[in-house]
């Protein structure tokens, strides 16, 4: 069983930065594509970023391109989301997800495991 635990959320001001972490249990981390999604109140969960199991490929949603960076450390079984220039519209619960694939999935239904989420609130 693969378990994901996010951390690093909090309350920040517009323009600030945060780094989210997602620690993955199990030795299979290096075989998993990893993604970040977010869900704002009253909205559907949306794709934010994904990274391939090798770490060589990444993909981002348009609203976060140039501001967010996804990375992974396979030795630490951890994936990160560096978020810069945060805006109030980035306020959401952020979820880490894992997928058994060599591809770079952006759809929710392509992911097999999910974390419990971490709240990010950006004030104006």
Q: What is the pLDDT of residue 29?
A: 81
Q: Which residue has the higher pLDDT, 54 or 29?
A: 54
Q: Is the pLDDT of residue 26 over 90?
A: no
What confidence score (pLDDT) does residue 12 get?
Answer: 98
39, two tokens: 């869900």
* Segment 68-112, tens digit of pLDDT: 999 999 999 999 999 999 999 999 999 999 999 989 999 999 999
- Please state the rounded mean pLDDT for residues 47-71: 97
pLDDT in tens, 1-20: 899 999 999 999 999 999 99
How many Å separate Cα 53 from the centre of its chain? 14
> Is the dihedral angle over the CA atoms 90, 119, 44, 113 positive or is it negative?
positive
What whole-number distance in Å separates Cα of residue 64 and Cα of residue 86? 9
Conformation bin of residue 29: beta by default, left when phi > 0, alpha when psi is -120 to 50: alpha
């Amino acid at each position: 069983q693969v378990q994901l635990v996010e951390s690093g959320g909090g309350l920040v001001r517009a323009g600030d930065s945060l780094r989210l972490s997602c620690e993955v249990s199990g030795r299979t981390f290096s075989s998993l594509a990893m993604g970040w999604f977010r869900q704002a109140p009253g909205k559907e969960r949306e794709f934010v970023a994904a990274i391939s199991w090798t770490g060589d490929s990444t993909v981002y949603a348009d609203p976060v391109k140039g501001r967010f960076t996804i990375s992974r450390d396979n030795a630490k079984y951890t994936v990160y989301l560096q978020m810069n220039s945060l805006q109030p519209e980035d306020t959401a619960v952020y979820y880490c997800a894992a997928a058994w694939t060599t591809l770079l999935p952006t759809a929710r239904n392509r992911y097999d495991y999910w974390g419990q989420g971490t709240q990010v609130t950006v004030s104006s």
